[in-house]
């Protein structure tokens, strides 16, 4: 199991990006959080099977017709034990 801290830049606020992340994570049984940052970027913590995380990151980078990802930064971080779901962070 791995956990990553991800910062996403681009057109990622006001276009359903957090919900898109939640759907992609839930489809892959991943846990973590997503939240908008005041600088217009989005912060994601994603945890689970590394292959599934790779799939998640590929889907996020591709986006959809409203989302445009210009840059994505990924750093490994400590696993959070007993995390049960993916949701919105405050």
Q: What CATH number is attached to the domain comprising 8?
A: 3.30.70.100
Q: What is the mean pLDDT of residues 40-48?
A: 98
Q: What is the mean pLDDT of residues 2-7?
A: 98
Whether 90 maps to a domain, the answer reads no
Domain with 29, as residue range(s), is: 2-78
Whether 47 maps to a domain, the answer reads yes
Quote the tokens at residue 10: 């681009």
Q: Give pLDDT tens digits for 46-81.
A: 999 999 999 999 999 999 999 999 999 999 999 999
Quote the tokens at residue 12: 């990622």
Residue 90 has pLDDT above 80, yes or no: no
Distant-in-sequence, close-in-space partners of 60: CB < 8 Å, separation ≥ 6 = 6, 8, 20, 21, 24, 44, 69, 72
Whether 11 maps to a domain, the answer reads yes
Whether 86 maps to a domain, the answer reads no
CA nearest 90: which of 45, 24, 27? Answer: 45
Residue 44 has pLDDT above 90, yes or no: yes
Q: Which of 3, 28, 35, 36 is catalytic?
A: 36
pLDDT at 2: 98
Q: Which of 11, 18, 68, 82 is catalytic?
A: 18
Q: What are phi and psi of 63, to 5 degrees?
A: 70, -155
Whether 27 maps to a domain, the answer reads yes
Q: What's the total number of domains in the chain?
A: 1
Whether 43 maps to a domain, the answer reads yes
> Is 28 a known active-site residue?
no
Report pTM: 0.94
Quote the tokens at residue 80: 């959070």
> Is 29 a known active-site residue?
no
């Amino acid at each position: 199991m791995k956990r990553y801290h991800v910062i996403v830049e681009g057109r990622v606020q006001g276009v359903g990006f957090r919900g898109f992340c939640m759907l992609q994570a839930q489809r892959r049984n991943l846990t973590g959080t997503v939240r908008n940052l005041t600088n217009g970027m989005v912060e994601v913590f994603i945890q689970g099977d590394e292959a599934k995380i790779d799939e998640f990151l590929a889907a996020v980078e591709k986006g959809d017709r409203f989302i445009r990802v210009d840059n994505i930064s990924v750093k490994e971080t400590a696993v959070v034990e007993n995390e049960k779901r993916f949701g919105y962070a405050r």
